[in-house]
Homo-oligomer: A and B are copies of this chain.
Amino acid sequence: MAIQVSVIGSGAEHEARAEEVGRLLAGRGCTVVCGGRGGVMAAAARGAKSAGGTTVGILPGTSPLDANEWIDHVVVTGLGHARNAVVAASGNAVIAVGGSYGTLTEIGFALVYGRPVVILEPGLEVEGVPRAKTPAEAVELVLASVAR
């Protein structure tokens, strides 16, 4: 089974970085897990696919048609925002790219479940969570955490 890394976050200004994170993760053989919809989620999945990777999208709604076109495997939760708990738990590690309140819940769940988290700069401020300056550094940090 491949290492799974959840890429979370939101914000149009963060999409290029999210795409780069997805591309680098796929290049390292990781499966990219995300929330399956648009914005940062779509960018991370698109990046992964551009590098020949595999993607899992964990949707809040009840229709698989809500998934963006770069999702290989669709998980349809019907749980609304509570699906954030599933996105966080389903990564062996988590990278946050931008984001707002929903991302805050995902970072919280990642910490609750003991998943290593890295926040890519610029991003949310959460005490005690390591930060990376570049997508490459974020990927290195989470992979080092998973290896430990």
Interface residues of A (CB under 8 A from B): 1-2, 4, 31, 54, 56, 58, 62, 64, 67, 71-82, 84-86, 89-90, 92, 101-105, 107-109, 111-113, 124-127
Q: 20 A-B residue contacts at CB 8 Å?
A: A31-B73, A54-B73, A56-B56, A64-B90, A74-B90, A77-B90, A78-B80, A78-B82, A78-B86, A78-B89, A79-B82, A82-B86, A101-B108, A101-B112, A103-B108, A104-B105, A104-B108, A105-B108, A124-B127, A125-B127
Q: How many copies of this chain does the complex contain?
A: 4
Given A90-B75, A125-B127, A80 and B62 contact (CB-CB distance below 8 Å): yes
Residues of B within 8 A of A111 (CB): 101, 104
Q: Given that A85-B82, A89-B78 are contacting pairs, would A73 and B56 also be in contact in the complex, using a CB cutoff of 8 Å? A: yes
State the main secondary structure of chain A at its contact with B. mixed
A126 CA / B23 CA spacing, docked (Å): 31
Q: Are B89 and A62 in contact (CB under 8 A)?
A: yes
The closest CB in chain B to the CB of A92 belongs to: B64
A104 contacts which of B62, B81, B107 (Cβ < 8 Å)?
Answer: B107
A113–B72 CB distance below 8 A? no
Instruction: Please determine whether A76 and B101 come into contact, CB atoms closer than 8 angstroms.
Output: no
